[in-house]
């Protein structure tokens, strides 16, 4: 039987219960949230289970939600792909802002090595167990994590690009933002 | 005095290794800086090599020399302003990046693209793939000392860039397309040039292929050089020709067809050993398949419009902008990014010329994306490079580097 989203949801909740939540299909990809302490064991399970068999880590990136509550300031988004049944899933783990830390996937996927370094470089999320967690794209001597939202790119006093002039609130209800 | 950051930890692990292990077993080890190379070759990247004579014991890759913070810049820009950033990812095949970006945006905005525009996209993406592969395979020859075959195909690379120019006005950083299709219908000259390309290119390509494929020197330099097994390649996140050279037939065009790729009949060439020679052969095969796809797309090009009918997102025609108030306002609103954007997140991937090029976008309903992440194939597979060259000769490392098709613009984003 080919694997489908409801089957994945059933297997994951069976094994991880309340550690996972928010199952939802967003633009053809099943998306759910996992608590950061279970993230590695969940992905290991997804990777090694013979039914689920997510053999490929397509993507890994960080997201900063400055308006979330303090323990959900950052998200690490994993995109996994099962080539046998040709199905993708997206797993998110929300982590606190003051001490962003999550288990490294380096032992499962060698591909995660640089992707985690990049995420660390941009967001300062530390991946525990990573063999070589240092900056990759930015200069080693940089003291900030530039993709965090508190660093505006352009002149922050510039007002002509302000969304309010177009009758909009600034950044309302971004996806994944927890009220 | 220099700040602390410049003086602490200056000893590289290799230096430490040499200090502790040099002249054991009578071996004199050394460190070689391979690069940063000149920007006009493959791009700028440095490899620090630990050498025993001419053999590589270990390598440390340094990337980020042309990091331009595209993901950060994209958070401040509207959709139309982000295409110019995608041009500069894999600059050898920028139309593929542009099309991937439009498809990502269209997926988020739920814009349906007419069949004709989809076929036109396929044509332009395949031409871009050919230009990328001919650069990669040609340069592989150049790096091994065979300059001439590269020049055989240069004429057609030039023609391909003329096609891009005819369609978008630019040659290298094309900034091609719009939400829902193309900015204008392709001119007669563009179609003529595409015809000329399709009829003339195979001959030039045969010449290049003939110069290398059964060439003893080329085979000696590439067979069993820089090989990687299929399991390691998958674990390292390889995609594209480099993965297919190991024997895995994963191709996004087949696995998750986009832009009507399901309508075309083509094969996915695979190799067996994952070495430099197989990568070369897979690219040769792909060029032929791309030509087949282009021919089919031209032959079966459907009637219809070259863009979707989405006035909220698609710029109105210039004549109207200059003469009508409403169109001027519409134009202004689109340029300023004032169009309805749903709150969603979307991942779309295409088969880029060196692997699965994916774009992940989170929108929050405002003019600009909340977060854009580019899954750049060569950033992910380049980390396998030390493993691929370890134990080999230095000159093999050069061949391996050329054959994995690392483009610095994409690597560093």
Query: How big is the A-B interface in CB pairs under 8 Å?
Result: 130
A58 contacts in chain B (CB < 8 Å):
237, 349, 356, 358, 375
A157 has pLDDT over 70: no
Closest alpha carbon to B244 in B286, B290, B294: B286
Nearest to A174 among B256, B336, B364 (CB): B364
Express each pLDDT in B355-367 by its tens digit.
Answer: 999 999 999 888 8
Alpha-carbon distance of B138 to B404, in angstroms, equals 13
Say if residue B188 is exposed, middle or buried (CB neighbours under 10 Å; 0-12, 13-18, 19+).
Answer: exposed
Distance between B62 CA and the closest CA of chain A, angstroms: 8
pLDDT category of residue B3 using cuts at 50, 70 and 90: low
Nearest to B383 among A114, A154, A163 (CB): A114
Alpha-carbon distance of A88 to A78, in angstroms, equals 10
pLDDT category of residue B335 using cuts at 50, 70 and 90: confident
A85 has pLDDT over 50: yes
Distance between B174 CA and the closest CA of chain A, angstroms: 25
What percent of chain B clears pLDDT 70, i.e. is strictly above it?
Answer: 96
Express each pLDDT in B140-168 by its tens digit.
Answer: 999 898 899 999 899 999 999 999 999 99
A158 has pLDDT over 70: no
Distance between B26 CA and the closest CA of chain A, angstroms: 31
Interface probe for A, chosen from B43, B335, B365 (most Cβ of A below 10 Å), is B365
Nearest to B69 among A146, A154, A168 (CB): A146
Work out whether strand A101-103 and strand A126-128 pair parallel, antiparallel, or are unpaired: parallel
Q: Do A79 and B347 touch (CB under 8 A)?
A: yes
Q: Do B5 and A163 touch (CB under 8 A)?
A: no
Q: Do B383 and A111 touch (CB under 8 A)?
A: yes
pLDDT score for A176: 40
Express each pLDDT in B168-225 by its tens digit.
Answer: 999 999 999 999 999 989 999 999 999 999 999 999 999 999 999 999 999 999 999 9
Question: Contact at 8 Å (CB) between A32 and A21?
Answer: yes
B256 contacts in chain A (CB < 8 Å):
86
Q: Do A153 and B72 touch (CB under 8 A)?
A: yes
pLDDT score for B356: 94
Q: Do B63 and A61 touch (CB under 8 A)?
A: no
Nearest Cα residue in chain A from B72? A147
Nearest Cα residue in chain A from B4? A141
Express each pLDDT in B13-49 by its tens digit.
Answer: 888 888 888 788 788 899 998 877 665 556 788 889 9
Going from N- to C-terminal start, the domains of chain B cover 4-62, 71-412
A26 contacts in chain B (CB < 8 Å):
344-346
B342 φ, ψ (degrees, to nearest 5): -75, 160
- Classified as helix, coil or strand, B101 is helix
Q: Do A141 and B356 touch (CB under 8 A)?
A: no
Express each pLDDT in B270-306 by its tens digit.
Answer: 999 999 999 999 999 999 999 999 999 999 999 999 9
Q: Considering the domain B71-412 in this protein, what is its CATH number?
A: 1.10.645.10
B247 contacts in chain A (CB < 8 Å):
none
Please tell me the pTM assigned to this model.
Answer: 0.92
Closest alpha carbon to B130 in B86, B155, B160: B160
Instruction: Assign a CATH topology to domain A5-104.
Output: Beta Polymerase; domain 2 (3.30.460)
Distance between B385 CA and the closest CA of chain A, angstroms: 12
Which one has a higher pLDDT value, A178 or B175?
B175
């Amino acid at each position: 039987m080919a694997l489908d989203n409801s089957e994945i949801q059933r297997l994951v909740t069976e094994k991880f219960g309340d550690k996972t939540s928010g199952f939802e299909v967003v633009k053809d990809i099943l998306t759910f949230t996992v608590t950061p302490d279970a993230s590695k064991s969940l992905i290991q399970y997804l990777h090694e289970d013979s039914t689920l068999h997510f053999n490929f880590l397509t993507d890994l990136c960080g997201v900063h939600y400055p308006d979330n509550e303090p323990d959900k300031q950052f998200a690490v988004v994993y995109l996994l792909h099962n080539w046998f049944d040709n199905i993708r899933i997206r797993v998110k783990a929300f982590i606190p802002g003051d001490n962003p830390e999550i288990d490294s996937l380096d032992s499962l996927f060698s591909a995660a090595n640089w992707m985690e370094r990049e995420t660390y470089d941009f967001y300062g999320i530390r991946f525990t167990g990573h063999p070589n967690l240092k900056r990759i794209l930015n200069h080693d001597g940089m003291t900030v994590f530039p993709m965090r939202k508190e660093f505006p790119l352009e002149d922050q006093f510039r007002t002509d690009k302000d969304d309010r002039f177009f009758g909009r609130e600034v950044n309302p209800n971004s996806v994944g933002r927890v009220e | 005095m220099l700040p602390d950051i410049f003086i602490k930890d200056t000893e590289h692990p290799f230096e430490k290794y040499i200090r502790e292990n040099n002249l054991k077993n009578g071996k004199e080890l050394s460190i070689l800086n391979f690069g940063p190379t000149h920007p006009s070759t493959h791009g700028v990247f440095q490899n620090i090599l630990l050498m025993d004579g001419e053999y590589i014991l270990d390598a440390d890759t340094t990337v980020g020399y042309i990091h331009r913070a595209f993901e950060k810049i994209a958070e401040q820009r509207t959709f139309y302003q982000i295409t110019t950033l995608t041009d500069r990812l894999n600059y050898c095949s920028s139309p593929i990046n542009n099309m991937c970006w439009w498809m990502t945006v269209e997926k988020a905005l739920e814009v349906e693209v007419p069949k004709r525009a989809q076929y036109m996209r396929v044509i332009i993406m395949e031409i871009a793939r050919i230009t990328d592969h001919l650069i990669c395979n040609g340069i592989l020859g150049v790096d091994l000392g065979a300059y001439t075959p590269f020049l055989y195909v240069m004429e057609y690379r030039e023609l391909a860039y003329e096609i891009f120019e005819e369609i978008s006005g630019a040659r290298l950083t094309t900034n091609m397309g719009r939400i829902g299709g193309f900015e204008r219908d392709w001119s007669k000259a563009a179609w003529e040039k595409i015809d000329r390309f399709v009829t003339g290119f195979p001959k030039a390509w045969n010449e290049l292929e003939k110069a290398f494929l059964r060439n003893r020197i080329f085979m000696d330099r590439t067979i069993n050089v820089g090989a990687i097994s299929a399991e390691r390649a998958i674990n390292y996140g390889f995609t594209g020709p480099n993965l297919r050279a190991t024997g895995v037939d994963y191709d996004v065009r087949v696995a998750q067809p986009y832009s009507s790729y399901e309508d075309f009949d083509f094969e996915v060439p695979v190799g067996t050993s994952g070495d430099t020679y197989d990568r070369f052969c897979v690219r040769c095969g792909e060029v032929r398949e791309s030509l087949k796809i282009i021919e089919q797309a031209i032959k079966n090009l459907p009637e219809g419009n070259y863009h979707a009918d989405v006035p909220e997102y698609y710029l109105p025609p210039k004549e109207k902008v200059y003469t009508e108030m409403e169109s001027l306002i519409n134009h202004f609103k689109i340029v300023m990014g004032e169009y309805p954007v749903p709150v969603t997140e979307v991942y779309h991937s295409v088969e880029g010329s060196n692997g699965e090029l994916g774009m992940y976008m989170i929108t929050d309903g405002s003019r600009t994306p909340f977060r854009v992440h580019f899954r750049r194939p060569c950033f992910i597979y380049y980390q396998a490079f030390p493993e691929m060259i370890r134990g080999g000769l230095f000159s093999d490392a050069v061949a391996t580097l050329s054959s994995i098709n690392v483009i610095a613009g994409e690597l560093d984003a």
